[in-house]
Amino acid sequence: MINLIAVVVAIASVLAALGHVGYLALLNNAANKRAGGAPVAQYVRSRWAVAGGTTAASLLAWLLTAGGPTMDVIAILLAAGSGAVAVKALQSTQEKYRSGG
C-alpha cells in the first residue's frame, strides 16, 4: 500500500515539474519571437536551474519507489518536496507574466 502511495506522489511530482519546464519553454519561445523579449528570455534562463532540479529530484523519487518500504517513505518525502517547489515556482512565473486579458 505504501508503494502505491509513493508511486502516485512521485508521478504527480514529475507532472508538476514537467509543467513548469513546459511553461518556461513556451514563455522562452514567445520571448524569442517578439521584439523586446530579451528581458523575459533572460528571466527564463535564470529559472532553468530550478526547473531542472525539481524535475531531476522528482524522477529520482520515482526511481526510489522500486525499493522497499523505507525507500518508499524517502521517495514520498522527496517527491512531495520537489513537487511543492515546482508548483510554487510555476505559480511565481505565471503571476509575473500573467496577461490582463
pLDDT tens per residue, range 55-99: 999 999 999 999 999 999 999 999 999 999 999 999 999 998 886
Domain residue ranges of the chain, discontinuous segments joined by +: 1-99
Query: Residue 97: which of 3, 48, 30 has the closest Cα?
Result: 30
Predicted confidence band of residue 101 (pLDDT cuts 50, 70, 90): very low
pTM equals 0.89
**Measured between alpha carbons, how far is residue 28 from residues 39, 48, 62 in Å?**
10, 11, 28
Count other Cβ atoms within 10 Å, centred on residue 32. 12
pLDDT tens per residue, range 35-57: 888 999 999 999 999 999 999 99
Q: What cell does 75 get? A: 521517495
